[in-house]
Every structure is written in C-alpha cells, then in structure tokens.
Structure 1
Amino acid sequence: MILPFIKPFRLQERDTVAVIAPASPPNLDNLERGIEFLQGLGLNVIRGKSLTNINGYLAGTDEERLQDLHEAFLDPEVKAIICACGGYGTGRIAATIDYEMIRHHPKIFWGYSDITFLHTAIRQEAGLVTFHGPMLGSDIGKEDTHPLSKKCFQQIFQPTEWSYTEDISPLEVLVEGKADGPLVGGNLSLLVSTLGTKFEIDTKDKLLLIEDVNEEPRAVDRMLNQLYMAGKLDDASGMVIGDFADCIPKRDLSLALHEVIDHYVKLANKPAMKDFQMGHCNPQIAVPLGVQATLDTTEKKLSVDSGLM
C-alpha cells in the first residue's frame, strides 16, 4: 500500500521535545551537552524512561525502548522526538511498533545511523516524513561539533526549501544527469538489513541516499552488490552518496573505496554525485527524508523540499 506522506508541524520556542535512545546507550557526558544545546534553542526537553538504561549494547530491553518511542509519539505535549545516538537495536523493535498510532500522531522524528531502520519503517508503514540528522550523544554533544551541524536544527523551526551546493563541500559527479523523486535511504548497512523483511527499502523512482562508517571496501562492495542484485539501484531515479567515514582497507590486497562505489553507481547508470557531508562526519548536514528532491549534476546541486507543514 502506498501512503500519502505526512509532514510534521514546525517547532516553536518553548515547545517540548522528547529525547530517546531506541538503539544503543549514549555517551552520558555528550548527551547532557546535547540536551543543553536543545534547551539553548528555547525548547523544553523531557527524557525517555530508558534513556540511560544499559542492556549490553542496547539502551534497555526491547520493551523499554519501544515504550519510550510509543509514549513520545502519544504524548500531546511532545512536538518532536530527537534520538540520542545510534549503535544497534532499532531493527529489533520495528515489527512491534504501532505505525497506525504514529500516522495519527505525526511529529518530527530526528536521527541517523541505526535510526535508518526506523526512518524506512516509519515512512513506509506510517507515511511520515522524518529527518536524517546529527544526534545528541554522538554528534551535537561533542566539544568539536561543527557549527553547521548545529545550524541544521533551524530547519525544524521554519518550513523552507533548501539546496546543497559546493558552497558546503566539493561534490564529484559520477553519472551526469538530472533526477528527482522523494529522497530516501541513510546508512547502507541498515538499508541492506531491511531486504527480505516487510520493511524492505522501496527505491522505485526515488533518490537514494547512502552513507556508512567503519566498513572495509569489501564490506561496502558486498552491501552495494546486494542492493544492486535486489534491483534497488536500478529502481532509484538517482543516487546521493554521503560520507563513508573510516571505510578503509585493513588488509594489503583491496580495492579502494572510490573504486567500489564508482563501480556500482556506474552499473546502475543513474544520475549520481558523491561527497555530500551527510552521515558520520563533521559537519553533518541534516535532510528530511520522504520529501521531493532534485539532483542536478550540471549545477552540482541537490534541492530538497521542506519537511514541515
């Protein structure tokens, strides 16, 4: 079933936002600085009950993290949900989320990395536009966070279209052309983990964003090959290649990362550019997912509609 996309409402000063950890436990020092950042934007912050819980590599049990997510969407005072960090764990709760409830209580949902699974599931099951952007414990709370990463939060206060050009970072054209469609995707590892499930990423006539971290070129090769064989690269209207931080060989015999990415992008032969500062990078540029976007390699520009009502 194809759902019409729902844009959440913009934030206003003194609105309440919920901070949750639906995957791994956050660095507590960074988390506190991140919460102070949100408060400095004039927002009231409430914390999920399991925000500081530790269950191995998970921030509490699946039931606790699911409860935090549900309560945040159900609470009428909460206008946005900001994830503390990624790590691992969102795929474990995806099948038990009440997507119908989310559809009837739309609000801003923000995060990236392991949160990619939730971006994909929430968009495809509830039709909600979500935001792929830096998180509190893993990005904003760090002492060396780039001002551009913090500035990206302004887009959830004001509905505006925006463009990514070489004023932000140099971009390399891999396949020339112009493509448009809803922007989808996120972390490559998590996108691949949706394949074969009810949450399998739908890339048909969409711009596909990919990024990753700490994966050897051969691992990136394996994942891109799987997406390619599953038809996801051919289905996409174009590709937006984000940051692949520390994706370097750990063995003597290896292809270079750029050789791997270029190979699959050119196999798909859809308009594509790389080196967008989106992903595990500093600065990190936030972007709404599920909204209409246009990639133009002649102008070296990605234009994205507002993600807000």
Structure 2
Amino acid sequence: MIHPIRLQKGDTIGVTAPAGPPDQEKLQRAIAFFNEMGLRVKLGRNIKQTRGFLAGTDEERLSDLHDMIIDTEVKAIIFARGGYGTGRLADCIDYELIRQNPKIIWGYSDITYLHTAIYQQTGLITFHGPMLASDIGKSDFDQFSAQLFRQLFTPTQLDYSEVISPLKVYAAGETVGQMVGGNLSLLVSTLGTPYEVETTGKLLLLEDIGEEPYRIDGMLNQLRLAGKLCGAHGIVLGDFSEVNSKVNPSLTLDEVFTDYFSDFHGPVMSGFKIGHCFPHFSVPLGVWAKLSTIEKRLRIEPGVK
C-alpha cells in the first residue's frame, strides 16, 4: 500500500472532470468550501469543455489528470463530478506516473473505475467521497459530510456505528480486510477487463443510485458468477438510493440482499451512508478495515500519512 501524504493549510488541490461535464455554478460554490478550509484550488485547463455526455474529449480529460499528477504544487486531486466516461481513460492512464507521484485522489460514483484501476496498478490508497459540482456545491451539502474531509489533514481511524445510521445484519461475523469497491454498476463494468476488481480476501463496498431491484439483482448475480462475492471476506452495503421499482410485481431490495447474502461466509451489513446520499461518509479505499456484526461497527484505518 502507498499512503498519500496528508494535506496542510495553504496546500493546493487540483480539480478535473474525468467523466461528465460539471455544472460550473456549483463548481464555483464548491471552490469557496475548500478556500474556507485553507486550501487553494487549481482547475484543470479543460474543466469547461464538453463533448456530449463527456467533459471534453478523452485526450482532454486524460491530459488534465496527468497534468495534476505531475504538478508538484498540487497535493490532492478532487474530482468535479462523476457521470460517465472514466472507464474510457483506464487503458491510457500512466500508472507509473501515479506511482512516482503519489497524492490524494478523491471522488466516487463513476470514479470507482479509476479507484479500482489505480489501486490495482499502483497500490495507492484513494478516497471514496463527495465531489465538487455533484455534492459540495449543492445547497443541501451538510456539515457532517464536510467534516469527513478532516481525515485528509490528520491520519484518522474512522469508526462507523449506529450512532450515524441504523445498520442491518444479513450475515453475522467479524473479519478484517483491505476495503475495495464502490459503485456496483462500475465494478461490474470492470469484469473481463485488465482492471477487473480483485476481491479475494477483501472487504467489498457496494453502493449505487437509480437502479431497480431487478437490475441490482442482475449485477450481484454477475459478481457471484464471476467469483467476486465468494472471494470477499465481508460485504459493506452502502447507500442504494432511488431504487423504486417500475416493475410490478418486484422483489424489494431487502429481499434481493437476503437472497445473495443471508448465507454468506463472512459478515454482511447494510445501512452505511456511503454513496449517493447526505450525509456522505467518506472512506479511504485500499486500507485495512474491520467489519463486525457483533459490535455493529466498521473501523477503517487512516488513508494518509
């Protein structure tokens, strides 16, 4: 594992959009949030570009990412938004450049593809957390979510319990493993590629938005058939928002989870506010974590050094 160096007040963060085009007004509001934290913000040269559902051409988005990686002034890269398009860059990213210039990389949703590829190619710890235009720049971005950015300034062990939200046990147990994963649909899209998510011995985090129960069932089944569920030591089920089914009759999400996880060989819990939600509990990926249904707790090691 490679832990990125912690931030200090006065540091510069770089902002790029490797997937969809960000709302520029929300982007500017989010910049003020980081300024108040004592950070400077440097925008990618192509941050205003659009090409259909993409934030510019693949070359423009990749160039901005590489520029931020080699820029010695930039101590962290926090993405503007998700959407779609990060996977298009995966086979063109200079992973050796990232290994030689390790720094904080933060985002979620479509960025799951980037988290998975970077961790498996370099060993760099990255962060699953809210982004500028899609979260921080919104009027309902909350203080609890904002406080989770403090983990970038001081190595912090995170402790998630029912003090934060109710948790449901699908399979009992206690285990440790390095936490990987993120957005379910993005993880499924890595299967059969050189960046296929590795889950053996890991704690697998899953979350998603706007997917109906039958779609979530299908994706879990694909992970199951690919051997990605049986290899994991435990499953952390994050937020699955906007899952109202248009299919009638339908299984509920709870029934889907019960089908896949009730006889799982390790601990499985749901209810974690990790994903497309507020509050948004930000977590490092690649670090060691302990999941216990006995304590109903998820403890996660620091992501920075």
Per the TM superposition, whether the score is higher than 0.5 is: yes
Q: Secondary structure at the match of 2:196?
A: coil
Aligned equivalents of 1:236, 1:50: Cα separation in 2: 39
Contact 2:170 2:257 in 1 (8 A): no
* Number of residue-to-residue matches in the alignment: 305
Percent identity of the aligned residues? 55
Question: Aligned partner of 1:187: which letter?
Answer: N
Q: Which of 223, 232, 236 matches 2:232?
A: 236
Structure-1 residue corresponding to 2:247? 251
Aligned equivalents of 1:113, 1:170: Cα separation in 2: 23
| 2:93 maps to 1:97 | yes
Q: How much has 1:267 moved relative to structure 2?
A: 4.7
Aligned equivalents of 1:20, 1:262: Cα separation in 2: 39
Structure-1 residue corresponding to 2:183? 187
Structure-2 residue corresponding to 1:293? 289
Q: Which of 210, 217, 229 matches 1:221?
A: 217
Pairing of 1:65-84 with structure 2 (within 5 A): 65-84=61-80
Aligned equivalents of 2:169, 2:220: Cα separation in 1: 18
Structure-1 residue corresponding to 2:140? 144
Q: How much has 1:261 moved relative to structure 2?
A: 1.7
Deviations, residues 95-127 of structure 1 (Å, cap 9, x unaligned): 000001100100000000000000000000011
Q: Which of 260, 264, 276 matches 1:268?
A: 264
Q: Which of 20, 37, 40 matches 1:44?
A: 40
Aligned equivalents of 2:264, 2:296: Cα separation in 1: 19
Aligned equivalents of 1:249, 1:40: Cα separation in 2: 41
Q: How much has 1:73 moved relative to structure 2?
A: 0.5
Q: TM-score, normalised by structure 1?
A: 0.97
| 2:204 maps to 1:201 | no
**Gaps spanning 5+ residues in structure 1: where?**
none
Q: Secondary structure at the match of 1:233?
A: coil
Contact 1:181 1:237 in 2 (8 A): yes
Q: TM-score, normalised by structure 2?
A: 0.99
Contact 1:18 1:46 in 2 (8 A): yes
Contact 2:171 2:263 in 1 (8 A): no
Contact 1:12 1:157 in 2 (8 A): yes
Aligned equivalents of 1:269, 1:217: Cα separation in 2: 23
Q: Secondary structure at the match of 1:174?
A: strand
Aligned equivalents of 1:189, 1:301: Cα separation in 2: 26
| 2:130 maps to 1:134 | yes
Deviates more, 1:37-46 or 1:251-260: 251-260
**Gaps spanning 5+ residues in structure 2: where?**
none
| 2:111 maps to 1:115 | yes
Aligned equivalents of 1:201, 1:18: Cα separation in 2: 26
In the TM superposition, structure 1's runs of 4+ consecutive aligned residues that sit over 3 Å from their partners are none
Structure-1 residue corresponding to 2:274? 278
Contact 2:107 2:128 in 1 (8 A): yes
| 2:60 maps to 1:56 | no
Contact 1:248 1:257 in 2 (8 A): no
Q: How much has 1:248 moved relative to structure 2?
A: 1.6
Question: Aligned partner of 2:225: which letter?
Answer: M
Question: Aligned partner of 2:118: which letter?
Answer: I
Q: Secondary structure at the match of 1:198?
A: coil
Question: Aligned partner of 1:229: which letter?
Answer: L
